[in-house]
Amino acid sequence: MDPILTRRSIRKYTDQPVSDEDVTYLLRAAMSAPSANNEQPWHFVVIKDRKLLAEIPKIHPYAQMVPGAQLAIMVCGDLSLDVMNGYWVQDCAAATENILIAAQSKGLGAVWLGVYPREERVRALQQLFGLPEKVLPFALIPVGYPAEQKPPADRFNPNRVHYDRW
């Protein structure tokens, strides 16, 4: 529970490199997410090229922190693998959250930047990264060692819990 309860959106990073082993750890966590009918309709683009990282804020208005990260992971849904008709969004969301929790468990900072369903972001990122037409970018996750500390946020709200009926 600790990585879940202490995870925060980190937008400032140090220049300390993130190891390839840690990147694999994050991707292994992502691919351990549940998916409808176990279709696993995801692909992941690991972005380390500084020039590409610098292009992302020109496409995504809330991605100003991306060039300061050591890398970003783009979570993508492959519509050709979406046999369950639209559940790819939930599947990719589960994979994205797993990356965030795994990053926290490794002492890394990360933040979820939504891409889908914003058509202009989807199309521009498809073009920038040469994605096939049926592969849609779902989210971007900049990753690095945190250069900021945020206290845990207790978001539990018993007023949002209903038993048996509303």
pLDDT at 55: 98
Q: How many domains does the chain have?
A: 1
Q: What H or E segment, with its residue span, contains residue 113?
A: strand 113-114
**Is 20 a domain residue?**
yes
pLDDT at 113: 98
**Is 56 a domain residue?**
yes
On whether the CB atoms of residues 76 and 43 are closer than 8 A, the answer is: yes
**Is 166 a domain residue?**
no
Q: Could you say which residues of the chain have pLDDT below 50?
A: none
What is the SS3 assignment for 152? coil
pLDDT at 162: 97
On whether the CB atoms of residues 102 and 26 are closer than 8 A, the answer is: yes
**Is 99 a domain residue?**
yes
pLDDT at 87: 97
pLDDT at 51: 98
**Is 42 a domain residue?**
yes
Residue 143, domain CATH: 3.40.109.10
pLDDT at 148: 97
pLDDT at 48: 98
**Is 161 a domain residue?**
no
pLDDT at 138: 98
pTM for the model = 0.97
Residue 97, burial from CB neighbour count under 10 angstroms (0-12, 13-18, 19+): middle
CA distance linking residue 129 with residue 33, whole number of Å: 24
**Is 164 a domain residue?**
no
Domain membership of residue 27 as a residue range = 2-147
**Is 65 a domain residue?**
yes
